Amino acid sequence: MRLCSALICLAFALTAQPCFATERLNVVASFSILADFAHQVGGDKVEITSLVEPDSDVHVYTPSPHDARDVGLAKLVIINGLGLEGWMPRLLQASGSKARVVTASDGITPLKRGADADPHAWQSVKNAMIYVRNIRAAFEAADPADAAAFKANAERYLAALEALDREVRADVEKIPPARRKVISTHNAFGYFADAYGIQFIAPLGVSTQTEPSARDLAEIVGQIKQAQIPAVFLENFNDDRLIGRVASETGTKVGGTLYSDALSDENGPAPTYIDMVRHNINTLTSALAP
């Protein structure tokens, strides 16, 4: 409980009623998946803004003046870290923010891609559980009065994630081992591959910033033919033309759309993280299982 706004206090002065109101913890998340984690843990005790919107690309993002205002007002800014949000330091500086920056991926074991870490750690559900614990700890530190609510929400959500992780493992078992390999647009599923044993090959690297060369494409086409990869997949925020070309040059079927770096909007198939993981594994098993 905090002293409420001047307006309500004026009402207090006029009516002599006790003047307290709960003020929600003001949180900014860099992208939609983190915003969902924050929402699951924070419930109605937090006010959450996602900078990068659903179905949008967090790798290449140009913050707006509106974003700078949101970050300036936030008490906590939740980022993924691992080099995902290259645009964030400048935004924090431009906003004059005093917010505590919470790196949700702290404590995961990073996968290396050359010299860099692969930032897509949330694609392993066990890693997502680490994200959730970090967010809970940050909420409790920023708003100790609501610690009991954060604990209850986090425990309920972690149990659901634990069940989700088992569900994904059971679904992968339905796919014959020789068919557990796919093509997706950019290299967003390294942690998923590592955790669940489906191999992903991607024409783009771990970032969407670089265009593949003709040689990269020819290499992918060769790999698909040689490895007899059963299906290629689109991603929800990337240009479909690349995968379309790969599919037509190899005669491989398009297995559907995977959600990698962004949720869908409310009306789409992946408005929450749990929906996203479930949608992805269902899309993979429908294309790959016999």
Number of residues this chain uses to bind Zn ion (CB under 5 A) = 2
Q: Which is nearer to Zn ion, 70 or 261 (CB)?
A: 261
- Residue 30 Cβ, how far from Zn ion at the closest point, in Å? 13
Q: Which of 70, 165, 235, 261 binds Zn ion (CB under 5 A)?
A: 261
Establish if 117 lies at the interface with Zn ion (CB under 5 A): no
- Residue 86 Cβ, how far from Zn ion at the closest point, in Å? 12
Q: Which is nearer to Zn ion, 52 or 99 (CB)?
A: 52
Establish if 132 lies at the interface with Zn ion (CB under 5 A): no
Q: Per CB under 5 A, which region of 143-151, 192-200, 218-226, 253-261 contacts Zn ion?
A: 253-261
Q: Which is nearer to Zn ion, 97 or 207 (CB)?
A: 207
Q: Which is nearer to Zn ion, 84 or 229 (CB)?
A: 84
Q: Which is nearer to Zn ion, 164 or 188 (CB)?
A: 188
CA 79/CA 85 separation, integer angstroms = 7
Q: Which of 102, 188, 258, 270 binds Zn ion (CB under 5 A)?
A: 188
- Residue 186 Cβ, how far from Zn ion at the closest point, in Å? 5
CA 12/CA 7 separation, integer angstroms = 9
Establish if 111 lies at the interface with Zn ion (CB under 5 A): no
Establish if 104 lies at the interface with Zn ion (CB under 5 A): no
Q: Which is nearer to Zn ion, 72 or 83 (CB)?
A: 83
Q: Per CB under 5 A, which region of 9-17, 185-193, 245-253, 264-272 contacts Zn ion?
A: 185-193
- Residue 261 Cβ, how far from Zn ion at the closest point, in Å? 4
**Site residues for Zn ion per CB under 5 A:** 188, 261
